[in-house]
Structure 1
Amino acid sequence: MISGNLYPSVSTSCIFPPKRTSTPAHVHLPLLKISAKLRLISFESVSLSFPTFIASKSSVKSTRFSNSVAKVYSFEGQNPTSLSDLEDLSENGVVYKKTLAMVECSMFAALNGLVYFLSNSLALENYFGCFFCLPIVISSMRWGIAAGRKTMVATFLLLLVLSGPVKALTFLLRHGLVGLTMGSLWRLGANWSTSIFLCTIVRALGAVGYVLISSFLIRENILALITINIHASLTLIFTASGVNLIPSMSAIYAIFGTLVMLNCGCFMFLLHLLYSIFLTRLGLKTSLTLPRWLEKAM
């Protein structure tokens, strides 16, 4: 018989691992506090990065939001702007009207510049000369004096690119300023006598300016040639009629200015008559201040 145990003695700690003892409560408390603080910080950062919306049952059911409540949030910390501050894009809105005015002015300027360029190239300016002021007048009547001025400036710049400075200045002096003056006076409701008188002065000054520009380009004083020819013609007429009289140069200048004003006055009266009929056919009769005899005739 073998005395003792058949197997060597093995300690119980090797077979069965020791039981884990529970962590004390004073160790868990700091960890719980730190994790709670981290969760609170992460929640606040998320809530700050996105706007919060609180909706009731009635607001969820309705899909419309009033302009005073709905807001548009911009990037990079800019202030939110409400929808009521945005421009109105309807047909009666400010943005729509400004865009329509800009488009019409640009189209009128392009059409006017193209017609003037072709009429000069084909020597048809005498046939279409009465229509070069019409786009500026229509722009002034429909959208105001500023729109007429923009149309005139845009046409001038277009002709400056297409035909050069001489043709552009010719258009500005002979047609652009006259159209702007007529459209502005008609927009302000001036009567025909005032409008014709002021437009005649502008037309006469433009004609004199055109003559001066032509004199500078050809290196010849055209005004002096005109006055000398008038003086010679009057002297010949007086001599042929038996009147021993030599007109002075001041009288020649007065006669020349009177003839220019008379020519421009007749042209502006016919232009007023033509544009009144044309704008009446376009439906702008309510914006016109016509004389009584013309209203009865129309």
Structure 2
Amino acid sequence: MNLLKLQPSYSHISQIALLHPFLSSPQTHTLSISLVSNESTSLLRHHVISATLSSRTPNVLYKRELRSPRVSNNEVPAGEFEDLAADGDVYNNTLRLVECSMFAAVAGLAYFLSNSLAIENYVACFFSLPIVITSMRWGVAAGRKTMVATAMLLLTLSGPVKALTYLLMHGLVGLAMGTLWRLGKNWGLSIFFCTFVRAMGAMGYVLISSFLIRENILALITINIHTSLTYMLTAIGINSIPSMNTIYAIFGTLLLLNCGFFIFLLHILYAVFLTRLGMKTSLKLPRWLEKAV
């Protein structure tokens, strides 16, 4: 029959199904299923399904590539954690915070115990040292933070009077010395400026004490100087009464001399101490002291 002559072969049908799985018409499928055996039909369907999956596979792979990749538990993406290396910013900031807190606690506790045990006159030279060390190591801002932290600790432990006394007599001196040493200034400027700061702090301490006890301590000091000087002049045969301006000048000179000697001794003591700590390269010492050290 003509129908049998027009019957397509199995290979031809499979090629059409593989090349055009979605363009084949229902009549073609009906004709192929009616003319081939059951085994041929299952094989044909298998080829059609594989061809369909192969045609869809690129789209699936493309969609998978567009998704964000998952990171396994063992891998750490870049920028997920901050740098914790020894030379990193996080490590340096943490170390600076710990050192400033430690030195502030040590200075506050030492000042509190020295006042409680009445040994302040023996250990007063070390109260400014923590501020100087933090200023030399971490900068002026770190020294200022150490001074403020120590004052806040003393404010909590001993009250505002002790905190103000520490700031005026020791805190500002340590900050001034640490700042000038950090900037690499010579000892002449450092001693002069720190002496002025110490003198102003002493005057502030006298004024605060006068306000607290309701007595003018500065007037008592000048009166005693005036009386002593008058007795000395009378003893050597000079009948003269010094004026108050002269008394004030003598008082200011004595105060500056006292503070100057104290600051000079602090410079030598702190220079030797910091040199023993291994910070000699950060110091700008005079030649005579550098040779001695």
CA shift, 1:288, in A, is: 0.2
Letter in 2 for 1:181: A
Letter in 2 for 1:134: L
Partner of 2:238: 243
Determine the C-alpha separation between the residues in 2 that align with 1:297 and 1:189.
20
Structure 2 unaligned residues grouped into runs of 5+: 1-25, 27-59
Partner of 1:216: 211
Deviations 1:81-127 (A, max 9, x none): x518x632111000110000000000000011001000000001011
Determine the C-alpha separation between the residues in 1 that align with 2:142 and 2:268.
23
Partner of 1:263: 258
Partner of 2:79: 83
SS at match of 2:285: coil
SS at match of 2:266: helix
Determine the C-alpha separation between the residues in 2 that align with 1:90 and 1:51.
33
SS at match of 2:252: helix
Partner of 1:53: 69
CA shift, 1:64, in A, is: 7.6
Deviations 1:157-208 (A, max 9, x none): 0000000000010000000000000000000001100000000000000000
CA shift, 1:51, in A, is: 4.3
2:123 corresponds, among 128, 131, 135, to 128
Letter in 1 for 2:145: K
Determine the C-alpha separation between the residues in 2 that align with 1:267 and 1:290.
18
Determine the C-alpha separation between the residues in 1 that align with 2:263 and 2:84.
41
CA shift, 1:54, in A, is: 9.5
Q: How does 1:1-298 map to 2 (within 5 A)?
A: 51-53=67-69, 70=77, 83=79, 87-298=82-293
Q: Which runs of 4+ in 1 moved over 2 A?
A: 50-55
Distance 1:258 1:54, change over 3 A: closer
Letter in 2 for 1:275: Y
Deviations 1:201-247 (A, max 9, x none): 00000000000000000000000000011111111111111102111
SS at match of 1:275: helix
Determine the C-alpha separation between the residues in 2 that align with 1:164 and 1:288.
36
Structure 1 unaligned residues grouped into runs of 5+: 1-24, 26-42, 71-81
Distance 1:109 1:54, change over 3 A: closer
Letter in 2 for 1:155: T
Determine the C-alpha separation between the residues in 2 that align with 1:253 and 1:276.
34
SS at match of 2:161: helix
Determine the C-alpha separation between the residues in 1 that align with 2:239 and 2:200.
34
Letter in 1 for 2:79: L
Partner of 1:5: none
Partner of 1:8: none
Q: Give TM-score, length-normalised by structure 2.
A: 0.75
SS at match of 1:83: coil
Distance 1:280 1:209, change over 3 A: same
Determine the C-alpha separation between the residues in 2 that align with 1:238 and 1:278.
45
Question: Greater share of helix residues, 1 or 2?
Answer: 2
Determine the C-alpha separation between the residues in 2 that align with 1:51 and 1:284.
56
SS at match of 1:168: helix
Determine the C-alpha separation between the residues in 1 that align with 2:127 and 2:67.
58
* RMSD (Å), alpha carbons: 2.4
